[in-house]
Amino acid sequence: MPESYRRNSAVWSLALATLLPLVAGPAPAHAHEGEHDHPTVYAPAEHYRPTPLPDRLVLTWSDDPASSVDITYRTHPATEATICQWIEAADVFGDHRNGDIPESEEIEGTSELFESDLGECRMHSAKLRGLEPETRYAYRVGDGVNWTEWHHFTTASDEAKPFEFVYFGDAQNAVRALWSRVRREAHAEAPRAAFALHAGDLINNANTDAEWGEWHEAAGWLNGAIPTVAVPGNHEYFRRGLEPTVSDHWRPQFSFPMNGAAGLEETCYWFEYQGVRFVALDSNKRQAEQAEWLDRLLSDLPPAPWTILTFHHPIFSAAKNRDNATLRAIWKPIFDKHKVDLALTGHDHAYARSGLGGPADAENVAAGERRQEGQTVYVVSVSGPKNYQLGESWDVSRSGSGIQLYQTIRIDGDQLSYRAYRASGDLYDAFTIEKDDDGTPELIEETPPTEEIRR
Ligand SMILES: [Fe+2]
């Protein structure tokens, strides 16, 4: 910088410093001399300190999506009351300018003290039951004085009807800084999504409260309006002694069905949404027990028109030098036997999507064989900024690396339409599965004619 400019700017700074208070009033407290030059990091313990106002609101289901919803949230530890008020949504509720709706119904939930690495808070849980199907409700939670805003959510139909949901691979890193935009683009693409599905590694360190704070902050009010479906990845696991244990945050902040394999409460479960069967598996442990459980479950239940699975570790890896051969050996035969349609996974920090039955491996490709047994389409995706190099060992229909993605999946009768979008909102991959009268699927490739992205 030339000396004259430096001197001039110093003169101007002095002039501005003299004039500004006259124009704009007194300078804010943080604008003292010297502080501008050395900003300090706003400490996570401050940023994510719980208050009497509820935060980290999450909607989930542990029961029928057509008649129930569960609400979990966090407050300061001294906030003992857990109150939820709800009412069928209306344009206006009368002249209640203080924000109260006296006609609303009210229930008390439960709470527990929770100790995170940043200190103590209280986790609350309220369960609404006996709701009407296909109905929009308004609700709020609080202690009777300190309330959230009134949120809207919509119950599922109790019949098979078209719907769409959004799916995310690993968010995991820079969740507030860079994942938030993916979550919000997905909402712009599918504002009436039935739910948001997260295939594990939502965060990086299982018990780091600030990372969970980032995850809740990135989704913001969406988590209070659109139910969450999630499975834990390896990064939601830690070792307590020798035992792999799911994050202490998992069960207090998510209320998932308790209908999975024994010992995997709220990490392995299933539910049905408007005729589609969803099964969440915990690929971190007890894989053989879950194979047995899944086989029994899908044998006992009447056949569903569509069965969609989600779990963290892919059956066919996308990234270089990665292969979950044991998982594939144990789980894939069950998927094939029960004609699973879609397996939505993460873990590899790259993108790969197969055709029906999965990709062919390199040897099969050389021998001219395209596909394996079964009819499952396997997807590995990533929504966060961590990037692994793509592997070359599988012949997939579409792959990519160095991109953050979100997916919308729409089911309408005998059609399932899948779209993968980049963080920019540009379409990256697409296909439709159509089933004939016998339930035999045909996959129609609709991948846009753009180059594969590999970084
Ligand atoms: Fe992972």
Residue 361, pLDDT > 60, answer yes
Give pTM, 2 decimals. Answer: 0.91
How far apart are the CA of 235 and the centre of ligand 1, in A?
6
- At 228-269, the pLDDT tens digits run 999 999 999 999 999 999 999 999 999 999 999 999 999 999
How far apart are the CA of 449 and the centre of ligand 1, in A?
30
| Residue range 49-154, CATH number | 2.60.40.380
Which whole number is the average pLDDT over 18-42?
58
pLDDT band for position 93 (cuts 50, 70, 90) = confident
pLDDT band for position 11 (cuts 50, 70, 90) = very low
How far apart are the CA of 297 and the centre of ligand 1, in A?
26
How far apart are the CA of 309 and the centre of ligand 1, in A?
17
Residue 4, pLDDT > 80, answer no
pLDDT band for position 91 (cuts 50, 70, 90) = confident
| pLDDT mean across residues, the chain | 92
- Rounded to the nearest 5°, which phi and psi values hold at 202? -70, -30
Report yes or no: 444 and 431 within 8 Å, Cβ to Cβ: yes
Residue 77, pLDDT > 70, answer yes
How far apart are the CA of 170 and the centre of ligand 1, in A?
7
Shortest CA distance to 181 belongs to which of 384, 377, 12, 15?
384
Ranking 25-29, 36-40, 423-427, 428-432 by mean pLDDT, the lowest is 25-29
Residue 362, pLDDT > 80, answer no
How far apart are the CA of 41 and the centre of ligand 1, in A?
28
Which whole number is the average pLDDT over 402-430?
98
How far apart are the CA of 323 and the centre of ligand 1, in A?
13
pLDDT band for position 34 (cuts 50, 70, 90) = low
pLDDT band for position 369 (cuts 50, 70, 90) = low
Beta-strand runs (E) in 117-158: 119-128, 136-142, 151-154
Q: What is the pLDDT of residue 365?
A: 62
Q: What is the pLDDT of residue 367?
A: 61
Tokens 């139909």 label which residue? 157
More confident residue, 182 or 395: 182
How far apart are the CA of 343 and the centre of ligand 1, in A?
16
How far apart are the CA of 344 and the centre of ligand 1, in A?
13
How far apart are the CA of 352 and the centre of ligand 1, in A?
15
Residue 383, pLDDT > 90, answer yes
- At 265-319, the pLDDT tens digits run 999 999 999 999 999 999 999 999 999 999 999 999 999 999 999 999 999 999 9
**CATH superfamily entry for domain 163-445:** Metallo-dependent phosphatases (3.60.21.10)
How far apart are the CA of 364 and the centre of ligand 1, in A?
28
- Rounded to the nearest 5°, which phi and psi values hold at 166? -110, 150
Which whole number is the average pLDDT over 390-419?
95
Residue spans of the domains in the chain: they are 3-40, 49-154, 163-445
How far apart are the CA of 205 and the centre of ligand 1, in A?
11
Residue 29, pLDDT > 50, answer no
Shortest CA distance to 389 belongs to which of 372, 373, 404, 401?
401
Residue 35, pLDDT > 70, answer no
How far apart are the CA of 313 and the centre of ligand 1, in A?
7
Cα separation, 449 vs 103, whole angstroms: 55
- At 110-144, the pLDDT tens digits run 999 999 999 999 999 999 999 999 999 999 999 99
Residues with CB under 5 A from ligand 1 (ion): 201, 233-234, 347
- At 163-175, the pLDDT tens digits run 999 999 999 999 9
Q: What is the pLDDT of residue 22?
A: 42
Cα separation, 424 vs 230, whole angstroms: 24
How far apart are the CA of 177 and the centre of ligand 1, in A?
20
Residue 378, pLDDT > 70, answer yes
How far apart are the CA of 347 and the centre of ligand 1, in A?
4
Read off the tokens for 113. Answer: 């003290």
More confident residue, 90 or 12: 90
Contacts for 177 with CB less than 8 Å, ≥ 6 apart: none
Residue 31, pLDDT > 70, answer no
How far apart are the CA of 166 and the centre of ligand 1, in A?
19
Residue 2, pLDDT > 80, answer no
How far apart are the CA of 172 and the centre of ligand 1, in A?
9
